[in-house]
Every structure is written in structure tokens, then in C-alpha cells.
Structure 1
Amino acid sequence: MEEVKVIVFALNNEEYGIEVDKVRTIERMMPITRVPKTYSFIKGVVNLRGIVVPVIDLRGRFGLEETPVTDNSRIIVVALEEMEVGFIVDSANDVIDIDRDTIDSPPEVVGGIKAKYLDGIAKLGENRLLIMLNLAEVLNKSEISMLEQLEV
């Protein structure tokens, strides 16, 4: 029985998970410097302890309705192909251990989000599902190269 540690966050009243080893830090919202000529879901960049980090609104990325930032909103900074990227989420709730055996393949669409963005669905107890994100698909190669140019 192999367990994986997961950061649980909320988006559009659904719970999502990212493996802890891919997460650098979780930050409160901070001023974001807008960058022109980027995708609308790329909100801009932040200066995080001297490192320029591109920030993406996951709601916008997944085609969900964007909502105003609240006190619970967080930026989850993940490591993705030798760079760091921040994801704006509604809240970051918890760190839990999940048995890998409880993670099933995702259906075609979950909560309006296409399966390619998902790694799987973890069943936690009777009525709780956790949607595992596939970070490699959340940003495709051309978007990653665009973000790398933002860092210059």
C-alpha cells in the first residue's frame, strides 16, 4: 500500500489535489503585475522572495467562471519543468495522505473540466472525491515556453 501526500485545495466547490512534492509554497494573495499579450488565464507575475513567478488563474484555465479574490484565496506555487508557476485557487485546505490504490482514472469531464487536465479521482470515504491534477497538462509546452519568456 503506497501512500502519497497531497495538498487539498478548492475550486468552484470541488476539491482538488496536487502531490506535496510538486508544491514549493502556498501564499496569500499578493499584488500581481499584469503582463500584456498573454493568455487571459495568465494573470501576470509576482516577485516571490526575489524570484519572478508567473501566476495562472486555474478557474480561467479550466474555463470556469472567474470569481473575485477573497480572504481565502491562495496562490499555490508548483515546480513545473525547471520553473515555478503560481496557481490561484479559491482556498487551500489541507494536507492528507492518500492510498494510491484509491485513485481511479478520471471520467471524460469532471465538474466541467476535461479529463486531460486530471490525473485521477481519489475516493476518500463514502461521499468525498478528490480530483487529482495532471500538472503537465494544465500547462502545455507552448504555454510553458511563453511563461519562461515572462521570467526574463
Structure 2
Amino acid sequence: MAQTDLVPAARAPVLAAERLAVDGQYLTFSLQGEIFGLEILRVREIIGYTQPTEIPLMPAFVHGVINLRGSVVPVIDLAQRLGRGATELKARTCIVIVEVDAADSAQPMGILVDAVDSVLDIGADAIEPAPAFGSGMRAQFIRGMARREQGFIVLLEVGHVFALDELAALARGVETAEAQA
């Protein structure tokens, strides 16, 4: 039987291994004392923190929207999205603009982070699968764990962390809850 003939549940470990086997460059940044990484190909730019315009009836992790050269760009507080407390604004706090796949195009989205660290080349052999427990965040948010001298870098799966359909559903849920209150 070929790997493509496997049932979805049996194929899941194979898909995870294929997904991990990606050499590449990753933008690393700090968030509440931990180091995270995003595929550099998803990063459009990094901008200094500017106060976003708050949008009513949005989930707490939606920090607001900014005007980026005439485009309205939502800004997500990544710490809150990952189930942690709100990001504390400091001198090095910045917004990383990433491209998230939408139905027919790439949607820019801002990610609020404590500080950008560097761009690293990470080989596939340095990437471990995410632990099945203990990470404190949803497993599908983690692309893998990159080994380094002082622990690990949590490599995020942008398509899952910032899934537009899920974010829209969460916003609708908040709106419904507010209407019922």
C-alpha cells in the first residue's frame, strides 16, 4: 500500500514528518520569555509598535487594526492567541507583518511580539516534532521545535495560528455573546 493510500489517521504521522523536513530561514522573536520562529517567506515586514484602532466585539487577542500604506491590517496579540496573558508594551515591542493564506490571495496580518531577535538558518535535522503534551498551546499551532544550545525555538505554523476562517468564527462568537448579554 502506498503512503497516499493510507487512511487520514494513519497518514497523520507521515504528513507531520513531511511538514517538519523543511530546511529554511526563520525569523525568531521573543514572547514572554520564550523564543518563537516563523518561516521567513511568510514575513512581509517588521514595523515599530503603533497603537492600533480597537474594533468592538472582537476576541481579546485581536489587538485592533492599523493602516499600513492604505491597507487595513488586523493586529493579533500572539501571546493572547497562544493562551497566555496580554503582551506588555515595551521599547522593543513591534509588529511583524505576515502573509496568511486567504481564499484567493494572501492577507496581511500583524503579530504583536515582545522583540524580534534574528533570522536563523534551521536545517530539517535540527527540527523535532512538537511534544504531545506540556507545551501550553494547541498542537496544530506548532510546526516543530528547533534545537539550539539554550533549549528550543518553537516554530509556529502560521496557517493554523492565524487561520482566517477560525478567527472570523471566533469574532462571530464574541459578537453573539455580547448581543445576548
Residue 65 (str. 1) matches residue 77 (str. 2) = no
Structure (1/2) with the larger helix percentage:
2
* Aligned partner of 1:37 among 48, 53, 57: 57
Uncovered stretches (5+) of structure 2, i.e. residues with no partner: 1-20, 172-181
Mean Cα deviation higher: 83-92 or 58-67: 58-67
Distance change (3 Å), C-alpha of 1:78 and 1:144: farther
Structure label with greater radius of gyration: 2
**Structure 1 moving runs of 4+ over 4 Å:** 144-147
- The one-letter code of the counterpart of 2:124 is R
2:152 alignment counterpart: 129
CA distance in 1, matches of 2:42, 2:170: 21
TM-score, structure 2 normalization: 0.74
1:52 alignment counterpart: 72
Uncovered stretches (5+) of structure 1, i.e. residues with no partner: 148-152
Mean Cα deviation higher: 65-74 or 16-25: 65-74
Whether the 8 Å CA contact 1:108–1:114 is kept in 2: the answer is no
CA distance in 2, matches of 1:102, 1:28: 31
1:87 alignment counterpart: 111
Q: CA RMSD in A?
A: 2.0
CA distance in 2, matches of 1:76, 1:109: 28
- The one-letter code of the counterpart of 2:63 is K
CA distance in 1, matches of 2:72, 2:170: 14
Give 1:142 deviation, angstroms. 3.0
Paired residues, what number?
Answer: 146
> Identity rate of aligned residues, in percent?
30
CA distance in 1, matches of 2:86, 2:132: 22
- The one-letter code of the counterpart of 1:34 is E
CA distance in 2, matches of 1:86, 1:115: 22
